[in-house]
């Protein structure tokens, strides 16, 4: 069993595509299996770290762009929904996702 998405989105999925192609084409020889066995855990771990970093960068970029947008609307009044409460303030989400 294997599960994958579009290989342009995640490097581990690209690796799975390569392994399946090698198997279908009869190129999955013992040396290649040994190489995959030795290296794929590290590749998967590194890919997971990179994916988490990318997600965090995306979230931070979204926050910065929302703050930039709101900086042009400082004295305006908006309806919104409280989406979070902390010791130092609240998070409010507007209907337009800002």
Domain residue spans of the chain: 11-93
Residue 13 contacts residue 6 (beta carbons within 8 Å): yes
Report which of residues 97 and 83 the model is more confident about. Answer: 83
Summarize pLDDT for 22-67 with one digit per residue, the tens. Answer: 999 999 999 999 999 999 999 989 998 998 999 999 999 999 999 9
- Sequence-distant (6+) residues with CB within 8 A of 12 are 4, 43, 44, 47
Q: Report d(CA 91, CA 33) in Å as an integer.
A: 50
- Report, in this order, helix, strand and coil percent for the chain, each rounded to 5: 55, 10, 30
* CA atoms within 13 Å, Cβ hemisphere of 93: 8
**pLDDT at residue 62 in the model:** 93
Q: What is the reported pTM?
A: 0.66
- The answer on pLDDT for 89 being more than 70 is yes
């Amino acid at each position: 069993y294997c599960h994958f998405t579009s290989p342009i989105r995640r490097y581990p999925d690209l690796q799975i595509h390569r392994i399946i192609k090698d198997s279908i084409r009869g190129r999955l020889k013992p040396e290649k299996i040994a190489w995959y066995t030795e290296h794929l855990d590290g590749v998967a771990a590194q890919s997971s770290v990179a994916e988490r970093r990318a997600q965090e960068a995306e979230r931070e970029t979204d926050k910065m762009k929302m703050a930039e947008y709101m900086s042009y609307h400082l004295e305006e009044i908006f309806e919104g929904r409280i989406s979070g409460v902390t010791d130092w303030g609240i998070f409010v989400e507007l209907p337009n996702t800002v």
